[in-house]
Chain A
Amino acid sequence: MSAPYIPRDRRWHPPAHTPDYKTSVTRSPRLPLLSVEQSLSEITGPTFGHTALGPRDADLIHNFTGAPAIGERILVHGRVTDENLRPVAGALLEVWQANAAGRYRHVNDGYLAPLDPNFSGCGRCLTGADGSYTLRTIKPGAYPFRNHGNSWRMAHIHFSIFGAGLAQRLVTQMYFEGDPLRDQDPIAQTLPDPAALDRLVAPLDLNASIPLDSLAYRFDITLRGRRQTPFENRPEGA
């Protein structure tokens, strides 16, 4: 049997029940999660090859109509590694975001800001052998949402990540360095430790920018690592 993953530190993640983010109140389990040993069901998980992706999936500037989207052109790049600092190769990253005006291309988004006819806001890519990835997109706008009377989301890109197994599955959001909305964003503030939020804030990366074309932001992602001990659990009572 393959080595199991290091247990998740639930105190580092947002709690389920975060009353300042109102929707969590009725959607949060109140009973303790059941802690279980990992079996093949949790160590395995969906894996994806390059045949699953289209040629322009990683280029959100052009992947809707071919004509360029409006907005501040950026690269988002980084590495996906695990808690043992090993690269996670072949991880699937799926991203979605609002356009430069803060509007989503989604039947349920009624924000008054306009759609960009050349921007869909979805993209995806696989990490390379060293865990690296690069996406090209435009910087999303901030947008209001119904929470408090005047609640705004800081600019963000949603990320869904499939690592090597279900235990590494992670969904999160990337923020941008210097965003003035950080301290009042009710979703960013679900994180109990400001150091955890820091991990989601991508710094400007001038060296990775493309002169006369695009700025760049760096977003490194850490997935759970595997236990290194060769000793296996014995069944209880054995």
Chain B
Amino acid sequence: MPVEYPKETPSQTAGPFVHIGTMPTVAGFRGLEPELGQAIAGPACPGQRIGVSGRVLDATGAPVRDLLFEIWQADPNGIYNHPEDPRVRDISQDFNGFGRVAADFDDGAIRFETVKPGPVPGRDARMQAPHLNVFLLARGINVGLSTRLYFGDEDNAGDPLLALIDPPHRRETLVMAADGTAYSFTIRLQGARETVFLDF
């Protein structure tokens, strides 16, 4: 018999009312203050300010309107605001790195502002192209979905994670379109152009 370890607590869907415990103003009342994840980068943070918008679509092409969208990203120098980043002492001022956005209840739109992250060291000292780490929660999603969003105006050719995606044409499901400082994405949960989701 192999050695037995306690197993991870199993996941369950966040359901449609996830906002109550995470963003109560979206649920319709004032509850937890401050609400967490409301500023990925504060006004004093250096770096390029960008706007990101997009939608998450289900198999029928309908936007997921009860979605909670979480972002975790590095600062403009590619440093994470976390004790295990070896460069954390040099983290940009007024930078948090965590963001939370609720999809619009009418059209499913997701919009947020942040600073563009820098390249992040990967394993084996290979640099990873700038990216946002994304975690999706919604009714009908039994285990929260992880993916990344890269920037269409960056050189993503050497990114070790994108290089693992086969067939290569699916890599573009993780790359945002760039229009100046505005970036846009479509995440497809299922279907012909299903987004690549990650297991790590």
Residue positions of A touching B, CB distance < 8 A: 1-2, 6-10, 12-16, 18, 21, 23-31, 33-48, 52, 54, 57, 63-64, 81, 83-85, 92, 94-96, 104-109, 120-124, 158, 160, 164-167, 169-173, 187-188, 190-191, 196-197, 199-200, 221-225, 233-235
Contact = CB atoms under 8 A, between A and B. Distances in A.
Contacts of B137: 160, 171
The 5 closest A-B pairs by CB, nearest first: A96-B21, A23-B140, A44-B82, A46-B98, A27-B140
A41 to B, nearest CB: 5
Interface of B: 5-22, 24, 27-29, 31-34, 36-37, 58-60, 62, 64, 66, 72, 74, 80-85, 96-98, 105, 120-124, 126, 128, 131, 133, 135, 137-146, 148, 161, 164-165, 189-190, 194-200
Given A35-B199, A108-B66, A124-B32, A12 B15 contact: no
Contacts of A105: 20, 27-29
A34 B198 contact: yes
Given A52-B34, A105-B29, A222-B7, A1 B123 contact: yes
Given A29-B189, A120-B31, A160-B22, A200 B8 contact: no
Contacts of A28: 140-142, 189-190
Contacts of A95: 21
Contact of A15 (B20, B81, B84, B142): B142
Interface of chain A, main secondary structure: loop
B20 A41 contact: no
- Kindly name the residue among B66, B122, B123, B135 whose own CB sees the greatest number of chain A CB atoms within 10 A: B123
B189 A27 contact: yes
A106 B144 contact: no
Contacts of A124: 21, 32
A107 B14 contact: no
Question: Could you say which of A12, A63, A233 has the most chain B C-beta atoms within 10 Å of its C-beta?
Answer: A12
Contacts of B64: 27
Contacts of B5: 6, 83-84, 225
Contacts of A37: 122-123, 200
Contact of B8 (A9, A18, A41, A109): A9
16 contacts: A14-B12, A28-B189, A34-B164, A39-B121, A42-B133, A46-B97, A81-B6, A83-B6, A105-B28, A107-B27, A108-B105, A120-B29, A171-B11, A172-B12, A200-B12, A221-B9
